Chain A
Amino acid sequence: MKYLHIRNAHLIDPANNLDTLSDVYIAAGKLMAIGQKPAEGTIERTIEASEQWLVPGFIDLSTYLNEPGYTQKGNIARDTQAAAEAGFTHICAQPHTRPIADSSAVIQLILDKSSVAGFARVLPLGALTQGLAGEQLSNMVGLRNAGCVALSNARFPIKDSYVLRRLMEYAATYNIRLFITPNDPALACDGVMHEGPTSTRLGLAGIPETAETVALAQTLLLAEQTGARIHISQISCARSIEMLSDARSRGLNVTADVSLANLCFTDQTANGYNSRFHVEPPLRSEADRQALLAAVNRGELAICSNHRPHEIAAKKAPFAASEPGMSLYRHFLPLLLQLIDHDELDRNAAIRALTDLPAQALGMERGLSETQLFNATLINPEATPDHDNQDDLSSPSTDGQPGVATATFVDGFQVISTH
């Protein structure tokens, strides 16, 4: 047996309570030993990993891949590579494609393209309703059989609470996971940013906190009634965290995530009409941001990238006329490490929020395991990424901030190698 030897890594695996300096041995695509080399076999290759973190592969609970249909914004090969370079081994792709991912043919296409690309593995989210129109149920079982890990309506509205109830009941029958993004379209109205002093000053229509919390209350109550397995995607308000823990204390098994942008930025970034920060859900107040950080530190919220790249024309417009979304993968680790450096996020809690909590939300194997294929990432928290200067208008700026995935292993294969 021939081993890949990762030497002297700082192994952090919250699911297995590991936080230790250690050597790791991999063979046949699997983790064979932590610490001592197994007696049999020889070392084929050694990765020197001192001062680096070896963590289970990050799992992204929301990304927009834009293929098929919107390849001017991004494509599967490019964005799965960017994901792997940010340390993600598995990414959940929203069903907003054109055609919409409401048929097994589209799901198959996405899976084929991502497998040819050979970077992060795509876990498709099928459309929850036909055409994402929010009216008729999609072929839920067919979509699951085609490879969807869960169903989502992205941020497209569900027509009414009747449809929401029925789709939860139907999904519950077959134990299908639902990803729900709480957003009441009537309350969000024509809003383009958080409703508060900044929106008032800039004269931009605001999205009140209640657009999220009213929809969340409805979702949680219906989940309790129907027994559906739900995951709440991309919460943005402090109040939502209270509502989630309330629901959990009543026995509801509900997981939730927050997008990294909402942990890093507030509505103040809209000053100067900076359309880079036109995102959904909106960036909210500093109090909301602090509450979201605290919830991640307590282990209550997973972190997703909500990576949503755009072409220049989509962003080069007055704020409200620009398209919402931020291209996040290239900036993911620098932004995350900044939060850790500034003591806003606890390091192990952040890693848990990107590995163990998403694995729980998806019912996947948690943490590094000797029985599963090796999915892991080696992160150098001191190295500065070597970005080229063709930055697009949908990205935040992280110039000079450290954080590089030096190696990413997907199903036993090293797909990223940065030296």
Chain B
Amino acid sequence: MTSDPCQLQLAPNGQLRHFLTTEGLSRALLEEILHTASSFLGPKGQLINKVPLLRGKNVVNLFFENSTRTRSTFELAATRLSADILNLDIQRSATSKGETLMDTLWNLEAMHADMFVVRHADSGAAHFIAEQVTPNVAIINAGDGRHAHPTQAMLDMLTIQRHKGQIEGQVVAIVGDILHSRVARSQIHALKTLGAAEVRVVGPATLLPKDIEALGAKAYYDFSLALRDCDVVIMLRLQKERMQNALLPSESEFFKLYGLTAEKLALAKPDAIVMHPGPINRGVEIESAVADGSQSVILNQVGYGIAVRMAVMAMAMSGQQTNQAGPEAP
């Protein structure tokens, strides 16, 4: 519970051995992830056939929070890397019976897994697990609380790269519930490192976390202003419970102010692309005409997600192997 997350995820030789957050990783390393992911994609963006990079390795999907979509993409990615995969939906049941996260981990260690893909409702959970497990198990963060969702952010980077040619110099707006969004935090770090010209976060004060500008993003309350000269518009999913927690009056008012319509999108650059980590609330954060329109790349994101997860899993596993062979970390 003491080590720097940015250092914890690197082997002594600088290779990735866990993937916990996009924060603090070098531009070269993020570019290597994108490059590796691209190598799993054919010329038209389709996934190539199975590769044997993780043959004989046991990957455990450790989901303390339910997510069929993310879990399935990790499962597909592991299968395409020829790994053996075990899905465990632990959710709240085990821990509500008084079993601590440590107890669960000790039980799972006995399974001799090589990699845990972890999703957990507590920020820092993947980091905690990476510190506690035996040293040769790789941890991939599939979302921890409000903190990070680094594979989602990297698939978004890959999407921008493939549709805009590069990330360098792009003006990107991230719109909606930034406060609760682990995706937004991971995107901001990745975009800044990869040289985006400007990262704008857009929403009412209730949904923008305090001091968000310390992360290098610029805060906007006015969506129209934020869209000006934008190359990329990323819409975030709005959870229903935000209305109950006095953060927003209603979905309709939110849509009026921050919903992406064709009319609003016209304020951005003509070749701007529209992204969304999904699942979409049509008519809440985005209107159908935009979600299904020509500037939307939402469906492409899903395919890229598998390639990025394959890349990260392959790189972390290789980092673990060099880590075991190489000198001990100080």
Chain A residues within 8 Å of B, Cβ to Cβ: 195-197, 199-206, 208, 271-276, 313, 315-321, 393
Contact = CB atoms under 8 A, between A and B. Distances in A.
B210 A203 contact: no
Interface in B251-286: none
A393 B1 contact: yes
A328 to B, nearest CB: 18
A352 to B, nearest CB: 34
B185 A272 contact: no
Interface of B: 1-5, 23, 100-102, 120, 122-125, 127-128, 132, 144-148, 182, 185, 209-212, 214-215
A204 B5 CA distance: 15
Contacts of B209: 199-200, 206
10 contacts: A197-B214, A199-B209, A200-B210, A272-B3, A272-B127, A274-B2, A275-B1, A313-B102, A316-B132, A318-B128
A203 B101 contact: no
A203 B145 contact: yes
A271 B122 contact: no
Contacts of B4: 271-272
Residue of B1, B125, B147, B215 most packed against chain A (CB within 10 A)? B1
B202 to A, nearest CB: 16
A203 B147 contact: yes
A276 B2 CA distance: 9
A316 B125 CA distance: 11
B210 A317 contact: no
Residue of B23, B185, B211 most packed against chain A (CB within 10 A)? B211
Contact of B124 (A195, A197, A202, A276): A202
Contacts of A318: 101, 120, 122-125, 127-128, 144-145
Contacts of B214: 197, 200-201
A195 B208 CA distance: 12
A319 B127 CA distance: 10
A147 B149 CA distance: 54
Given A317-B100, A317-B128, A273 B148 contact: no
B122 A319 contact: yes
A316 B124 contact: no
A272 B20 CA distance: 12
A196 B211 contact: yes
Nearest to B2: A274
Contact of B210 (A206, A275, A313, A316): A206
Contacts of A206: 209-210
Contact of B122 (A195, A272, A321, A393): A321
B210 A199 contact: yes
Contacts of A200: 209-212, 214-215
Contacts of B125: 318
A214 B256 CA distance: 34
B120 A203 contact: no
Nearest to B184: A203
A272 B124 CA distance: 8
The 10 A-B pairs at the shortest CB distance, nearest first, are namely: A203-B147, A203-B146, A273-B124, A197-B214, A318-B122, A203-B123, A197-B211, A200-B209, A318-B125, A318-B128
Given A271-B4, A317-B100, A317-B101, A204 B215 contact: no
A204 B127 contact: no
A99 B148 CA distance: 41
Contact of A316 (B102, B127, B182, B212): B102
A272 B145 CA distance: 15
Nearest to B129: A318
A211 to B, nearest CB: 13
Nearest to A315: B1
Given A317-B128, A319-B124, A202 B147 contact: yes
Contact of B145 (A274, A315, A320, A393): A320
B152 to A, nearest CB: 14
B2 A272 contact: yes
A319 B5 CA distance: 13
A319 to B, nearest CB: 5
B106 to A, nearest CB: 11
Contacts of A197: 210-211, 214-215
B1 A274 contact: yes
B99 to A, nearest CB: 11
Nearest to A273: B124
B23 A201 contact: yes
A273 B1 contact: yes
Nearest to B120: A318
Contact of A272 (B1, B144, B146, B211): B1
A203 B3 contact: no
A313 B182 CA distance: 27
A159 to B, nearest CB: 20
A208 B148 CA distance: 22
Nearest to B124: A273
B123 to A, nearest CB: 4
A273 B128 contact: yes
Contacts of A199: 209-210
B123 A204 contact: yes
A100 B174 CA distance: 49
Nearest to B210: A195
Contacts of B3: 272
Nearest to A189: B245
Contacts of B144: 203, 318
B188 to A, nearest CB: 10
A203 B125 CA distance: 11
Nearest to A271: B4
Nearest to A320: B122
A231 to B, nearest CB: 30
Contact of B127 (A195, A273, A320, A321): A273
Nearest to B132: A316
Contacts of A313: 100, 102
Nearest to B186: A203
Contacts of B132: 316
